[in-house]
């Protein structure tokens, strides 16, 4: 409604400005016309003399169209009228060739009092003292305005009415859409995270707000679901080592063999180190996901990282093979990329058949720097690839193997922190895991 009022005020100002400009245009047009008329009469007098001018003025008075309402007056040096349709010379009107307004008195012209208004007139004085005046009434301009002005007022009123109707309708629509968003927010606050804001595809601000709100709700629901699953998995995976520690300590209390004490302590330390490793991995993932903007990004050569990881495994196995490729520099945090690569190689060594190679390769791929780890293990079914990157996610066939199910979750967190893409490919047999770092955001020339 406020916008309709503002629009009405603007239209009123525009109408007033139009009226003023129209009035000025008519006045200027009249002034030009009577000055041209006077110039023609002066030229005629200079050519044919005063008597001819008198006859011409009489002819002009007789033939002037009523709608133009032009008046003439020629007087001698004593002010006596020689020709024209005005009774006498306007009081104080100068004969200087310039346009001046004067008031047409009743003794000058016969017209109704309510029709009287100031007239523009222009006059000159001849060498013999005679003076010539050409004037025009405002009747024509007023008639034009009387024709146009009501139309402008009607247009204004239609515009205002239309603005009010449109404003009320738009206001109602905006309130309805705001109410729907509030209802979604109320239900989400009450605990129903399945609610989503309506999106109609119009692309307006409410549509954009709805999309952002839905994205936020999707992320919130995903995080809460993930948190619940993480809690369940922690309870499941931590129960076993803690139970072993408890059982071992209870058995140790019943023995007096020092060697039994030592063995129990060593096994307990090993189990607790596994628990600490699990929590360290959880902290690393959490810090990576939350602190993406605070990572210490620097120039990292993926080839050098791959060489360091391969050299580390030379002390324990000869199964890790390296295909370094050309130099591949990206912007990132070397320690985090190295940790992700360690996790990928560990997984490959764990699941691939004994004696089969694990190949680490680095090189360009389309518009990316690609870091890959390939093995000849059982692979991961395509429908389970989204699942295995979640925290504590483990396939049933791998439950008997050591591990916490956090390796690929950390790899995914590292990839997202570097705006890299994590993908899986069937190695037939086996699995290839790719980390693609985009040149556009990470590569260094």
CA atoms of 435 and 371, how far apart (whole Å): 5
Measure the CA dihedral 260/261/267/273, to 10°. Answer: -170
At residue 443, the pLDDT reads: 43
CA atoms of 346 and 355, how far apart (whole Å): 14
Closest among 239, 321, 220, 331 to 278, alpha carbons compared: 239
**275 three-class SS:** helix
Write the CB contacts of 163 (distance below 8 Å, at least 6 apart in sequence): 3, 4, 7, 8
The better pLDDT of the pair 89, 227 is held by 89
* 266's tokens: 């060593």
**Number of Cβ atoms within 10 Å of the Cβ of 172:** 10
187-199 residue pLDDT tens: 888 888 788 888 8
Instruction: Find out whether 86 and 108 touch, Cβ atoms under 8 Å.
Output: yes
Q: Which CATH class is domain 205-290?
A: mainly alpha
Closest among 433, 411, 424 to 339, alpha carbons compared: 411
Residue that is written with structure tokens 């699953």 in the block? 229
Instruction: Find out whether 268 and 245 touch, Cβ atoms under 8 Å.
Output: yes
CA atoms of 339 and 334, how far apart (whole Å): 9
If you average pLDDT over every residue of the chain, what do you get? Answer: 79
**In which residue ranges of the chain is CATH 1.10.287 found?**
205-290
Is residue 102 predicted with pLDDT exceeding 80? yes
What DSSP line would sit under 79-137, residue for residue? Answer: --EEEESSSSPPTT---SSSEEEE---TTT----GGG---EEEEEEE-TTS-EEEEEE-
**In which residue ranges of the chain is CATH 3.30.565.10 found?**
295-442
Write the CB contacts of 242 (distance below 8 Å, at least 6 apart in sequence): 271, 275
Order of strands across the sheet with 358-365? 320-323, 358-365, 368-374, 431-438, 421-426
At residue 139, the pLDDT reads: 65
CA atoms of 140 and 144, how far apart (whole Å): 6
Pairing relationship of beta strands 320-323 and 358-365 according to DSSP bridges: parallel
**382 three-class SS:** helix
365-413 residue pLDDT tens: 888 889 999 999 888 888 888 887 776 666 655 555 665 667 788 888 8
| CA dihedral (282, 284, 285, 287) positive or negative | positive
At residue 385, the pLDDT reads: 80
Is residue 334 predicted with pLDDT exceeding 80? yes
Among 23-32, 237-246, 352-361, the range of highest mean pLDDT: 352-361
3-38 residue pLDDT tens: 566 666 776 777 677 767 666 777 788 888 889 989
CATH number for the region 295-442 comes to 3.30.565.10
pTM flag (> 0.75): no
CA atoms of 19 and 145, how far apart (whole Å): 8
Say whether domain 2-142 belongs to CATH 3.30.450: yes
Q: What angle do CA 395, 397, 398 make, to 5 degrees?
A: 70
At residue 440, the pLDDT reads: 45
Query: Please, which contacts does 288-296 make with residues 24 or more away whose CB atoms are closer than 8 Å?
Result: 288/336, 288/410, 288/413, 288/414, 288/416, 288/417, 289/413, 289/416, 289/417, 292/416, 292/417, 295/332, 295/333, 295/336, 295/417, 296/333
**In which residue ranges of the chain is CATH 3.30.450 found?**
2-142
Bin 405: left if φ > 0, else alpha if -120 < ψ < 50, else beta: left
Residue 47: Cβ-neighbour burial (10 angstroms; 0-12, 13-18, 19+) = exposed
At residue 82, the pLDDT reads: 92
At residue 215, the pLDDT reads: 86
* Axis crossing angle, helix 334-351 with helix 407-417, rounded to the nearest 10: 150
Pairing relationship of beta strands 131-136 and 119-125 according to DSSP bridges: antiparallel
**Number of Cβ atoms within 10 Å of the Cβ of 261:** 12
- Region 268-274: mean pLDDT is 74
What's phi and psi for 436, nearest 5 deg? -105, 115
Write the CB contacts of 168 (distance below 8 Å, at least 6 apart in sequence): 1
């Amino acid at each position: 409604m406020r916008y309709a009022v503002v629009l009405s005020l603007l239209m009123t100002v525009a109408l007033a400005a139009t009226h003023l400009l129209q009035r000025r245009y008519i006045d200027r047009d009249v002034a030009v016309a009577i000055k041209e008329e006077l110039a023609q009469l002066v030229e005629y007098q200079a050519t044919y003399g005063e008597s001819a001018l008198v006859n011409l003025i009489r002819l002009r008075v007789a033939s002037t169209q009523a709608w133009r309402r032009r008046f003439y007056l020629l007087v001698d040096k004593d002010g006596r009228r020689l020709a024209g349709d005005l009774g006498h010379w306007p009081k104080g009107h100068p004969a200087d060739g310039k346009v001046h307004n004067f008031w047409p008195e009743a003794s000058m012209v016969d017209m109704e009092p309510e029709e009287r208004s100031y007239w523009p007139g222009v006059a000159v004085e001849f060498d013999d003292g005679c003076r010539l005046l050409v004037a025009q009434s405002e009747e024509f301009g007023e008639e034009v305005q009387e024709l146009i002005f009501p139309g402008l007022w009607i247009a204004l009123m239609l515009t205002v009415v239309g603005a009010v109707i449109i404003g009320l309708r738009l206001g109602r629509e905006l309130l309805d859409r705001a109410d729907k968003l509030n209802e979604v927010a109320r239900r989400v606050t009450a605990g129903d995270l399945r609610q989503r804001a309506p999106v109609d595809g119009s692309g307006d601000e409410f549509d954009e707000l709805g999309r952002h709100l839905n994205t936020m709700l999707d992320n919130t629901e995903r995080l809460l679901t993930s948190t619940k699953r993480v809690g369940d998995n922690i309870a499941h995976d931590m129960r076993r080592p803690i139970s072993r520690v408890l059982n071992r300590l209870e058995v140790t209390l019943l023995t007096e063999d020092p060697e039994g004490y030592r063995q129990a302590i060593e096994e307990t330390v090993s189990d607790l180190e596994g628990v600490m490793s699990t929590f360290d991995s959880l902290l690393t993932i959490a810090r990576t996901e939350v602190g993406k903007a605070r990572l210490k990004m620097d120039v990292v050569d993926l080839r050098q990282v791959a060489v360091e990881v391969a050299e580390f495994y030379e002390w324990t196995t000869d199964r890790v093979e390296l295909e370094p490729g050309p130099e591949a520099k990206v912007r990132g945090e070397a320690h985090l990329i190295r940790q992700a690569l360690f996790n990928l190689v560990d997984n490959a060594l764990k699941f691939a058949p004994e004696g089969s190679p694990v190949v680490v390769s680095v090189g360009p791929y389309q518009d990316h720097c690609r870091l890959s780890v390939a093995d000849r293990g059982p692979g991961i079914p395509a429908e389970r690839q989204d699942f295995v990157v979640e925290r504590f996610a483990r396939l049933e066939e791998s439950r008997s193997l050591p591990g916490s199910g956090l390796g690929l979750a950390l790899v995914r967190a590292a990839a997202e922190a570097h705006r890299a893409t994590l993908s899986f490919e069937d190695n037939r047999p086996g699995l290839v895991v790719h980390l693609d770092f985009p040149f556009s955001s990470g590569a260094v020339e």
